[in-house]
A and B are shown apart, each in its own frame.
Chain A
Amino acid sequence: MNPLGEKYLRKDFLPFLFCPGCGDGMIVRAFLEAVDELGVIDDLALAAGIGCSAWIPVYIHADVLKILHGRAIPAAIGLKATRPSRRVVVFTGDGDGLAIGGNHLLHAARRNIAITVVVVNNQIYAMTGGQVAPSTQMGARTQTTPYGNLEMPLDACKVATAAGATMVSRWSTAHPKALTRTFKRALNHKGFALVEVISQCPVQTGRYILGSGASHFNLQWIKDHCVPVDDPSKMGEVEAQGKIPLGDFLRVEKAEFMEEVQRMNQKVKETRFKGGDR
């Protein structure tokens, strides 16, 4: 077994329940490499909802919350509010994070609380058998859209940027080194960080949408259809070609929610002490 796995995985839960060739295991490895290089395993608190990708934190030997479908972000906010020193990471899928829990994503981003949300995008509801998801490409045939999907896909990065997230990145499982680098930045970021990971699902996306269930075909599809861009302004050009832009799109510093809370507590205490009016 991989030395990172020896060090940080729960051995009694192994092997992974992911299908052969699934990208989620690569995300576990990339995340563990980032955690290993930063040495923050004792500070980690992980949260996940329901879905294939929500199984990622269960295998990591850290504190894990497993919550109702789509509600991982509110629980993570509560965790961060009571323990501001912990590094809280939410693992969520495209259905869990963008459809069922889409509302929570917006408001966590607006609040700019220092949690990291990893949205694993495999373009389909994989665990339940291949239904259409908010991130499914237009025209794709799935179990619930046998004649093609009529809806435009939802772009998690643009949603988070519009909602006020302070760090937004998108990488794929075919770019593992960049993914590790982005996880490291996100773990150190003071504010809401969204990392979208384009992942392969050979069993559902591969068979129903792309046309082959071979794991190497799905990895190659990601390599062919995901284009890293240096400048976020070039995103439109890449999207016009029908491809998915990757990169670190946004990284700014803004007032963080928990720091503001502490500042306000201090202020209120001082005014009370003076006996002044609130």
Chain B
Amino acid sequence: MKGEEKAEKIEIDRRYCKGCMLCQYVCKFEVFEPGGERSALDYLMPRAARVENCRVCRLCEVHCPDMALTVVAKRKGGEKK
């Protein structure tokens, strides 16, 4: 699609995540789902299961209470199909 930003990856820092799942709640494109991995603080972490749905609105990033989440956008003019 034209003029639409896409995410390259969504990083969740396993040192700081407390598994509050607010990222899953605020995401309108169902990118996140509860994952099975535990963070360093022993909370169940979310998993960015559908990164291809992400449109880099960064709502999850601004709502993350532990600043553990980073959305890395695809570079514009990079590899495009």
Smallest Cβ-Cβ distance to B13: which chain A residue = A1
Within the complex, which residue of B25, B43, B62 is in contact with A29, where a contact is CB–CB below 8 Å?
Answer: B62
A30 within 8 A of B: yes
Is the CB–CB distance between A176 and B62 below 8 Å? yes
Known: A1-B13, A15-B41, A16-B16. A215 touches B64 (CB 8 A): no
Is the CB–CB distance between A5 and B18 below 8 Å? no
Smallest Cβ-Cβ distance to B16: which chain A residue = A15
Least distance between B8 CB and chain A CB atoms (Å): 14
Q: How many residues of A contact B (CB 8 A)?
A: 28
Chain B residues whose CB sits within 8 angstroms of the CB of A16 once the complex forms: 16, 65-67
Is the CB–CB distance between A2 and B61 below 8 Å? yes
15-44 of chain A: CB within 8 A of chain B: 15-16, 18-26, 28-30
Chain B residues whose CB sits within 8 angstroms of the CB of A26 once the complex forms: 62-65
Rounded to whole angstroms, the CA-CA distance of A187 and B15 in the bound complex is 32
| Majority secondary structure of chain B interface residues (helix, strand, loop or mixed) | loop
Within the complex, which residue of A4, A9, A22 is in contact with B65, where a contact is CB–CB below 8 Å?
Answer: A22
Q: Contact flags (1/0) for B20-35 with A, using CB distance below 8 Å?
A: 1110111000000000
Chain A residues whose CB sits within 8 angstroms of the CB of B18 once the complex forms: 15, 19-21
Rounded to whole angstroms, the CA-CA distance of A28 and B64 in the bound complex is 11
Chain A residues whose CB sits within 8 angstroms of the CB of B68 once the complex forms: 1-2
Rounded to whole angstroms, the CA-CA distance of A177 and B57 in the bound complex is 12
Smallest Cβ-Cβ distance to A215: which chain B residue = B20
Known: A15-B16, A15-B18. A25 touches B66 (CB 8 A): yes
Chain A residues whose CB sits within 8 angstroms of the CB of B24 once the complex forms: 216
21-79 of chain A: CB within 8 A of chain B: 21-26, 28-30
Is the CB–CB distance between A2 and B25 below 8 Å? no
Is the CB–CB distance between A2 and B65 below 8 Å? no
Least distance between B43 CB and chain A CB atoms (Å): 7
Least distance between A225 CB and chain B CB atoms (Å): 17
Is the CB–CB distance between B64 and A21 below 8 Å? no
Smallest Cβ-Cβ distance to B25: which chain A residue = A216
Least distance between A189 CB and chain B CB atoms (Å): 23
Q: Contact flags (1/0) for A186-217 with B, using CB distance below 8 Å?
A: 00000000000000001000000000000110
Chain A residues whose CB sits within 8 angstroms of the CB of B65 once the complex forms: 16, 18, 20-26, 215
Chain B residues whose CB sits within 8 angstroms of the CB of A220 once the complex forms: 25
Within the complex, which residue of B20, B22, B26, B67 is in contact with A4, where a contact is CB–CB below 8 Å?
Answer: B67
Q: A1-B70, A25-B65, A25-B66 are in contact. List 10 more A-B contacts (CB 8 A).
A: A1-B15, A4-B67, A9-B67, A18-B65, A20-B18, A21-B18, A25-B64, A176-B62, A202-B20, A216-B24
Residues of B within 8 A of A (CB): 13, 15-16, 18-22, 24-26, 40-41, 43, 61-70
Could you pull out 13 A-B pairs where Cβ atoms are within 8 angstroms?
A: A14-B15, A15-B18, A16-B67, A18-B65, A18-B66, A19-B18, A23-B65, A25-B65, A30-B62, A215-B22, A215-B25, A216-B21, A219-B63
